[in-house]
């Protein structure tokens, strides 16, 4: 049973560019959450997708957007990249039972903005 | 608003010694509580979680944590540290709604001295 997978593993971009990160959830999971983890810090919640819609959003600007596909996979898009966007981006999946949807994390995508 | 504090950004223990990593949360109602571990250049792995019921929770790799409502704490312990326990540990909370975001603490880096 494959866990949460993310691609690519590493990415280097320059300021002003746009980037798309991808996530495939754990088998049987229907909810995908995205987190940004800056160096030396805990993950910060970006947003969560369920039934192809953004269900909740953290304190991130509109430059951060996402999408969920019918197969539950998800993309995170970041426009007009800033140096401060350099971080590890983590995808987490869960099954929205409405009770204790424990989130399982992927290995992350390391984004470096130059 | 929910928040998580972890006392001690760095903790060093000798191999075979007790591991104690502290976590306190702030929430209007008792949330769901989690401990995650992150090894270098990897995603987060769930160690254990508290939802309801018994306040002493056992997790993987010999770790356990106790939920103390009166102290709003969820400290992580392991009786005997192994070299392989060296990693970053994150305490996290989630409100008891069906889809609320997970709030992470800043993390504690555990070093194990041979």
Alpha-carbon span B26 to B44, nearest angstrom: 22
Residue A49 Cα, gap to closest chain B Cα (Å): 10
* Kind and range of the H or E run holding B110: strand B108-113
> What is the distance in angstroms between the Cα of B79 and the nearest Cα belonging to chain A?
25
Q: State the average pLDDT for chain A.
A: 92
**pLDDT number for residue A52:** 93
Q: What DSSP string describes chain A? A: ----EEE-SEEEE-TT--EEEEEEPPTT--EEEEEEE-TTS--EEEEEEETTEEEEE-S--TTEEEEE-TTS-EEEEE-S--GGG-EEEEEEEE---SS----EE---EEEEE-
Looking at the complex, report in whole angstroms how far the Cα of residue A112 sits from the nearest Cα belonging to chain B: 14
* Cβ <8 Å between B44 and A105: yes
The residues of A whose Cβ lies within 8 A of any Cβ of B are 4, 6, 31, 33, 35, 40-45, 48, 50, 55-56, 58, 90, 92, 96-108, 110
Q: Is B23 exposed, middle or buried (0-12, 13-18, 19+ CB in 10 A)?
A: buried
- Residues B10 and B109 sit within 8 Å (Cβ to Cβ): yes
Looking at chain A, the whole-number percentage of residues with pLDDT higher than 70 is 95
pLDDT at residue A98 is higher than 60: no
pLDDT at B112: 97
Instruction: Tokens for A15, please give them.
Output: 């300021």
Give the percent of chain A with pLDDT over 90: 80
Of A10-14, A52-56, A97-101, B46-50, the poorest mean pLDDT is in A97-101
Task: Please tell me the distance in Å from B13's CA to the nearest CA on chain A.
Answer: 20
CA A46/CA A36 separation, integer angstroms: 7
Residues near A8 by beta carbon (within 8 Å), at least 6 away in sequence: A21, A109
Answer yes or no: do A42 and B90 touch at CB < 8 A.
Answer: yes
* Confidence bin at B2 (pLDDT 50/70/90): confident
Question: Using an 8 Å Cβ cutoff, are A5 and A106 in contact?
Answer: yes
pLDDT for B52: 84
pLDDT score, position B90? 97
- pLDDT 10s digits, B10-42: 999 999 999 999 999 988 777 889 999 999 878
pLDDT tens, residue by residue, A15-54: 999 999 999 999 989 999 999 999 989 999 999 999 999 9
Residue-wise pLDDT for B46-100, tens only, equals: 999 998 888 999 999 999 999 999 999 999 999 999 999 999 999 999 877 656 6
Q: Does B111 touch chain A (CB under 8 A)?
A: no
The answer to whether the Cβ–Cβ distance between A103 and B51 falls below 8 Å is: no
Looking at the partner chain, which of A42, A56, A108 has a beta carbon nearest the beta carbon of B43? Answer: A108
Position A2 scores a pLDDT of 73
pLDDT at A99 over 60: no
- Quick check: A97 pLDDT over 70? no
Confidence of residue A91 (pLDDT cuts 50, 70, 90): very high
- The DSSP code for B95 is -
Peptide bond before residue A8 is cis, with ω within 30 degrees of 0: yes
Task: Give the residue among A80, A97, A82, A71 at the shortest CA–CA distance from A38.
Answer: A82
Residue A75: predicted pLDDT: 98
Phi–psi pair at B71, nearest 5 degrees: -105, 0
Beta-carbon separation of A41 and B98 below 8 A: no
User: Which residue from A33, A42, A110 is facing B107, i.e. has the nearest CB?
Assistant: A42
């Amino acid at each position: 049973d494959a866990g949460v997978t993310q691609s690519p593993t590493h990415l280097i971009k320059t300021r002003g560019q746009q980037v798309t990160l991808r996530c495939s959830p754990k088998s049987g999971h229907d909810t995908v959450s995205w987190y940004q983890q800056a160096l030396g810090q805990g993950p910060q919640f970006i947003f969560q997708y369920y039934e192809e819609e953004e269900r909740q959003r953290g304190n991130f600007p509109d430059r951060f957007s996402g999408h969920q596909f019918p197969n539950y996979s998800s993309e995170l898009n970041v426009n007009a990249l800033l140096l401060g966007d350099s971080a590890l981006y983590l995808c987490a999946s869960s099954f929205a039972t409405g009770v204790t949807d424990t989130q399982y994390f992927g290995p992350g995508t390391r984004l470096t903005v130059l | 608003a929910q928040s998580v504090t972890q006392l001690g950004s760095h903790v060093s223990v000798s191999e075979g010694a007790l591991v104690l990593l502290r976590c306190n949360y702030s929430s209007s109602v008792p949330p769901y509580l989690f401990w995650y571990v992150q090894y270098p250049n990897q995603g987060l792995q769930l160690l254990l979680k508290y939802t309801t019921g018994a306040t002493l929770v056992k997790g993987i790799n010999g770790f356990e944590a106790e939920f103390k409502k009166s102290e709003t704490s969820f400290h992580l312990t392991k009786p005997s540290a192994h070299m392989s326990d060296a990693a970053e540990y994150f305490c996290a909370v989630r409100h008891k709604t069906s889809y609320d975001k997970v709030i992470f603490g800043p993390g504690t880096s555990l070093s194990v001295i041979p």
